[in-house]
Amino acid sequence: MRDETIASFLTRLAARSAAPGGGATGALHAAQAAALLAMVARFSDGPRHDSEVVGRVRAAADGLADEALELAEADEAAFQKVVLAYQLPKETAEQKAARSAAIADAMAGAARPPADLMAAAVRLAGLAEDLLSVANRNVISDIAAAAAAISAAAITAQVNIEANLGGIKDDELAAELAQTAELADGVTDRADRLIDAIREEMSR
């Protein structure tokens, strides 16, 4: 996926296949948000700006862009394991038990990339907030674009975590993932506030 053209990815996304799907696109939302924040930071590196904040945001955003691409690939791979688990034979009691265990394991694994994506979205929201106060005012609309992508990433992560919860047999893991899914509301609220603040500033 990392070296794939956009057109090729969209063709695969539109095909009648289980993966890539929403999880991969959620991670790509996060990657785009990170890249946008890194770009704004690079436009905010002059003497009039806070070099410490700008440098920190730039480095973190570059790292998160790469991390998000890895999550997109991990999500696709994890969902393929779910598909394979459902294709296991179920003719005998032993096969049914093995298939059920494999599905539960695969569902738990499939919930991990969106949980990690949620954590990335939380971090990205913080970077966007930090950057806004020190950014080059000519490119703050790109922070709003990043905020919208962060919100999309968080919502996608939330939905995908919830989609996998029913198949997870480990109650402790399920409770942990459910708490992670709830973080989406906070992320979207922060993103909305960023967008509102930027639109208000641009309207002056």
Q: Taking 80 as the threshold, does the pLDDT of residue 138 lie above it?
A: yes
Cβ atoms 143, 135 nearer than 8 A? yes
Longest dimension (CA), the chain: 72
Helical residues (DSSP H) of 87-139, grouped into ranges: 93-132
| pLDDT score recorded for residue 35 | 98
Rounded-to-5 percentages of helix, strand, coil across the chain:
80, 0, 20
Q: Taking 90 as the threshold, does the pLDDT of residue 151 lie above it?
A: yes
Q: Taking 80 as the threshold, does the pLDDT of residue 93 lie above it?
A: yes
Domains of the chain with CATH codes: 19-203 (1.20.120.680)
Spatial CA neighbour of 27 closest among 155, 117, 127, 145: 117
Cβ atoms 29, 155 nearer than 8 A? no
Between CA 166 and CA 104 the distance in angstroms is 9
CB within 8 Å of 62: residues ≥ 6 apart: 34, 38
Collapsed DSSP state (helix, strand, coil) of residue 194: helix
Is the whole model's pTM more than 0.95, yes or no? no
State in Å, rounded, how far the first CA of the chain is from the last one: 42
Q: Give the range among 44-53, 55-64, 175-184, 185-194 with minimum mean pLDDT.
A: 44-53
| pLDDT score recorded for residue 2 | 84
| pLDDT score recorded for residue 19 | 80
Q: Check whether the bond before 20 is cis (ω within 30° of 0).
A: yes
